[in-house]
Copies of this chain bind each other. A is one copy, B any other.
Amino acid sequence: METCGTSCGKAAYSFLFEYDTPRIVLIRSRKVGLMNRLVQLAILGYVIGWVFVWQKGYQETDSVVSSVTTKVKGVAVTNTSQLGLRIWDVADYVIPPQGENSVFIMTNVIITLNQTQGRCPELPDKTTRCQSDADCEEGYSGIHSNGVQTGRCVVYNPAEPANKTKTCEVFAWCPVEDDEKVPQPAFLKGAENFTLLVKNNIWYPKFNFTKRNILPNISKMYLKNCTYHAVTDSFCPIFRLGDMVEAARNNFQEMAVEGGVMGLQIKWNCDLDKPASRCVPKYTFRRIDNKDSAHTVSPGYNFRFAKYYKNADGEDSRTLIKAYGIRFDIMVFGKAGKFNIIPTMINIGSGLALFGVATVLCDIIVLYCMKKKYYYREKKYKYVEDY
C-alpha cells in the first residue's frame, strides 16, 4: 500500500489527465488518398444505404400475435335421387361450426343413411374378398377395415343378384360405407359463390400495438356489399371462395370434388416509425395440399362424422357423412419494426469496425505495391530491437 502511495497516485493522475492519440503518417499521395476515401465511401454507403435505409437495421422487431374469427355466407341447392331436393345453409356445410384459425366448407359428400350396429359384408377389395369362411378370420380387424370380422364369408351385394362377389362379414355400423366413387361433379357446386368474412386482430406485444384488418376508414355500407379484389378492393375482408381458389391458380370445381386445403395468408409488415395508418394487411392465397404429385396418399381433404338418431323403440342409428371440402387456413404472420438504440448501436459499432478494413487495404498497397514502398515503410515503422 505504502509503495503504491506515490506510484499509484501518479498512475491515476496520468490515467485521468493525459490524452493518448495515435501518431499518424500523412502521405501526400493523390492515388492512395483517393483510393482510401473511395473504400471508406463504399463502406459508409453500405452501412447507411443498405443496413440502415434498406434493411432498417436501426429497428427492433417483434412477431405478431393474432386472433381470427370467420363467418361464411351462402346457400346451395341440390337434387339427388338419394336425398331429393335439398337446401344447404351455413349450419349444414360448415363443420365444426366455428374454428380458430381455419374454417371448413363442405363441397362434396358421401352419405350413408340409417347405419345401425350389426353384421354385414365388408366392402370388396384385395384383402376382404373370400371364397369360403376359411378365408375370413374371426376377430380380425385391419387398419382399413370398417369393423371386426365374424369369420363368415357372405355375398356382398344381395340387391344385385347378378353380382356374386363374396366378402368377409364384419360386425360394424351396417351397411358399410361405399366410398369407391366420389360424386363428380361436386355435390355442392354452388359453394363457389359462398363468401368468407375474415376478422383479424393483431397485436405486437413489445410495442403494445394493435390493429384490425377492418381498417378504420372502411364504412359499414362498403363492408355490406364489397368483395375482395387484389387491385380494386384490396382491403375488403370478404372473400368469394371461387376467387380465392382462382388466385392460387387452381380450378374450384376440380378442387371441390376431392377437397383440399387453402392458405389465406395475411401479412402484416409494419414500420411503426411511420404512421399507424400505413400498417395494413396484405392478402395472398396458396394451395397447401399436394395436388398434382403422383404419390399422394388420400389426396384432397376429407373427414368422417356422424349424426346420431334414436328410433321410436330406442335403438341407435346414425347417418355417416364423409365430407370432402376445402379447409381455409388463415395464416397470419409478419414483423413490426421500431427504432431502438441497441440494434442501432450494434450496427454503428460494426460499421465503424469495418472502416478499419479501408486502412488495412490501403496500407497493403502503400507498403507492398508502390514504387516508394521502402520509403513509406521507413516512415511508418520504427524498429525496436529486443535481442
Residues of A within 8 A of B (CB): 14-30, 32-37, 46, 50-51, 55, 57, 63, 65, 67, 69, 71, 73-75, 77, 85-87, 89-92, 94-102, 104, 117, 141, 143-148, 171-173, 193, 195, 197, 199, 201, 203, 205, 212, 214, 216, 218-220, 223-224, 261, 263, 265, 267, 286, 288-290, 293-298, 301, 303-310, 312, 318, 320-321, 323, 327, 329, 331, 333, 341-342, 345-354, 356-357, 359, 362-363, 366, 372, 375-376, 379-387
Contact = CB atoms under 8 A, between A and B. Distances in A.
Contact of A26 (B19, B26, B173, B359): B19
A24, A100, A263 pick with most chain B CB within 10 angstroms: A24
Contacts of A205: 265, 267, 333
Contacts of A46: 345
B29 A20 contact: no
Contacts of A104: 98
A297 B224 contact: yes
Contact of A380 (B24, B218, B331): B24
Contact of A23 (B23, B98, B289, B321): B23
Number of copies: 3
B212 A290 contact: yes
22 contacts: A19-B27, A19-B362, A23-B379, A24-B380, A26-B383, A28-B383, A28-B384, A29-B387, A46-B345, A65-B333, A67-B261, A67-B331, A77-B147, A85-B117, A89-B146, A89-B304, A92-B306, A143-B195, A203-B263, A223-B295, A223-B297, A372-B386
Contacts of A224: 297
Given A16-B37, A21-B362, A327-B69, A290 B384 contact: no
A342 B289 contact: no
Contacts of A303: 71, 94, 97-98
A87 B342 contact: no
A238 to B, nearest CB: 8
Given A99-B100, A297-B197, A73 B144 contact: yes
Contact of A384 (B25, B146, B172, B195): B25
